[in-house]
Amino acid sequence: MILRKAARLFLLPFLVSLACAQTAQQHLFFRITLDPGMQPASGRLLIFLQPGTGATHVGVNEFRPSATSVAAKEISALAPGASVDVDVDDLAFPAPFSSLQPGTYQANAILDVGHTYPYLGPDAGDLESAVVSLSDWTPGSGAEPTFVLNHVTQAPAPRPLSLSPDALAAAEKATTLVDFVSPALTAFSGRETHIRGWVVLPPGYAEHPREHYPTVYWTHGFGANLDRIHPTALMIASRMAAGKMPPMIWIFLDESLPTGTHEFADSVNNGPWGHALTAEFIPWIEAKCRMDARSTGRFLEGHSSGGWATLQLQVNYPNIFGGTWSTSPDPSDFHDFTGIDLYAPHANAYHRPDGSLYPIIRDHQKVVATFEELSRQEAVLGAYGGQVASFEWVFSPRGADGRPLQMFDRQTGDVHPEVVAYWRDHYDLAHLVEANWAARGPALKGKIHLIVGTADTFYLDGAAHKFEAVLNRLHADPHFTYRDNRTHFDLYEENGDRMAMMDEIAAQMYAVARPSAHWALPAGESPILHP
């Protein structure tokens, strides 16, 4: 008995080792080689795979997240001509590659050298392979799939503008890049930190040297940056030149960071962006341009994450701005965080109490993605820069490792109440308005304008209704518009003009700044918003 027991004890480590080896052998590997003509490279290696043939590029689609499998591995100093084997079961979405059904697939590899894929997608300087066809492929059988990183990705071409050459030239002449080094942000980060944007001057600015103009501070949604907002600046310049919008100065602000969007919020993780904008940048730009430097001459406008940014700036700096026109803003009341009540007992970001999944993206009445799918895919694409992580970099307290605390467990979806409590006290706009109404109410009353579609793609109309109820209870004179059956992407459109609503927003702003000017919409344009 003793000898047999000793033998079993002796054999146990060997059997465990053998079992582990067998498990390891079941994992699937893809081989990636850096072309010998390339320079040494580092970054996050992403492998994308989907059924079918004939694609020139394979990547993620947020409207069909589970349709593309993606695996990832961090790579350091890959030498030209060297190869690395990537375990495509180790860090993969929506499931390990070895669990895929046999079939014909197409795949390619991207080395995300700047860790920008979660925010920008393929971007300039990334290294990419050709698409490899895997015909009649059975995971784990046959030769190991191989890819060669031999192409340097270029920045996406800007979308074409529907402007004549003369109109485009005039718009470019009216648009100037501004670059301001913020002392407060530089002190926070320990490196020179900039606020950048595009300034659009109105027609007649040069011809009327004594005129001071109302100013609109605009910022973008998730996934945009300084280059990607340039076409919007040109379109606004063109609309003013065509007489569709009143003469105002527009500042198109870049709110992108490697961590996502900072939303011009003061944050322990991203830095004091709200302070830097209001106390440093605005006085600096008002000294350079002839702006109406009064609260009744400063306005805010933005869409999506930019909608939330401008909404919070109005709430937190009510005496500086004369009103915000925020469209489809990210959740303004965390009782409805894209449908999830973060304050509910035992709240879970993935599952409702009945076990059903919370949706996050819809096409009108059709659910196309769940919050769990978006979160799990993002965790594979990168540790920062994605939409969910971006919220945490703005809203969360900082953890012991220097990174923001996660609001929910990525595996189970369980919400962390202590993190949500911090979110509530600092960034739940409905709570902030109500808690500070005695001090801020007089300066906020009548200044909050919010426009959202009833079919908003990301369910952002739910939070808007809750925020409006709070404002109505406070007699805050809010101006909320719910555009019937409009989504996140066609909210501004009217009669084929994708920016039509911008004309009316500008006219409403101008009426606040110049109540005796009687600016009216051009003939033939009917009002879209509330009277």
What pLDDT digit, counting tens, does each position of 486-523 carry? 999 999 999 999 999 999 999 999 999 999 987 877 77
On whether both 219 and 321 belong to a single domain, the answer is: yes
The 3-state secondary structure of 408-448 reads: ECCCCCEECHHHHHHHHHHHCHHHHHHHCHHHHHHHHCCCE
Q: Which of 213, 222, 270 is nearest to 374 (CA)?
A: 222
DSSP state of 130: P
Query: Of 398, 422, 446, at which residue does a domain stop?
Result: 422
Residue 226 lies in a domain: yes
Under 8 Å between Cβ of 254 and 180? no
User: Token pair of 392, please?
Assistant: 């945490």
Which of 367, 396, 422 is the last residue in one of the domains?
422
| Long-range own/partner contacts, residues 54-63 (CB < 8 A, 24 or more apart) | 54/106, 55/106, 55/131, 56/131, 57/108, 57/122, 57/131, 58/106, 58/107, 58/108, 58/131, 59/110, 59/121, 59/122, 60/121, 60/377, 60/381, 62/361, 62/369, 62/374, 63/361, 63/363, 63/368, 63/369
Looking at the structure, tell me whether residues 139 and 267 fall in a common domain: no
Between CA 15 and CA 320 the distance in angstroms is: 71
In a domain, 526, yes or no: no
Does one domain contain both 391 and 458? no
pLDDT band at 443 (very low <50, low <70, confident <90, very high): very high
Q: How many CB atoms lie within 10 A of CB 11?
A: 11
Is there a single domain that holds both residue 74 and residue 209?
no
10 lies in some domain:
no
Report the C-alpha gap between 408 and 370 in whole angstroms: 15
State the DSSP H helix or E strand holding residue 8, giving kind and residue range, or none if neither.
helix 2-26
Whether 43 and 85 map to the same domain: the answer is yes
Alpha-carbon distance 530 to 13, whole Å?
74
| Together in a domain, 258 and 393 | no
Domain count, the chain: 3
Q: Based on the domain organization, do 208 and 321 belong to the same domain?
A: yes
The CATH number linked to 444 is 3.40.50.1820
Which of the two residues, 13 and 463, has the higher pLDDT score? 463
The region that residue 409 occupies, defined by phi over 0 for left and psi between -120 and 50 for alpha, beta otherwise, is: beta
AA letter at 276: A
pLDDT, averaged across the chain: 93
Find tokens 């979405």 and name the residue.
93
The percent of the chain in helix, strand and coil, each rounded to the nearest 5, is 35, 25, 40
Query: Percentage of the chain surpassing pLDDT 70?
Result: 95
The stretch 285-310 carries a mean pLDDT of 97
Residue 51 belongs to what domain range?
Answer: 27-152
The share of the chain scoring above pLDDT 90, in percent, equals 89
User: In the predicted model, is pLDDT for residue 136 greater than 90?
Assistant: yes
176 & 90 share domain: no
Residue 496 lies in a domain: yes
pLDDT of 372-416, one tens digit each?
Answer: 999 999 999 999 999 999 999 999 999 999 999 999 999 999 999
Residue 250 and residue 315: Cα distance in Å, rounded?
21
Given this model, what pLDDT does residue 12 score? Answer: 42
Same domain, 221 and 256: yes
Residues 418 and 433 in one domain: no
CB atoms near residue 397 (< 10 Å)? 16
Q: What is the pLDDT of residues 8-59, one digit of tens each?
A: 333 444 434 444 444 445 789 999 999 999 999 999 999 999 999 999 999 9
Kindly tell me if the per-residue pLDDT of 344 is higher than 60.
yes
pLDDT at 274 over 70: yes
**Cβ–Cβ < 8 Å for 311, 427:** no
| Predicted pLDDT of residue 531 | 55
Same domain, yes or no: 281 and 368: no
- From 152, 179, 207, the end of a domain falls on 152
Give me the pLDDT at residue 4, please. 35
Instruction: Give 359's strand partners.
Output: 370
For residues 400 and 502, state if they share a domain. Answer: no
Q: Tell me the CATH number at 37.
A: 2.60.40
Residue 439 inside a domain? The answer is yes
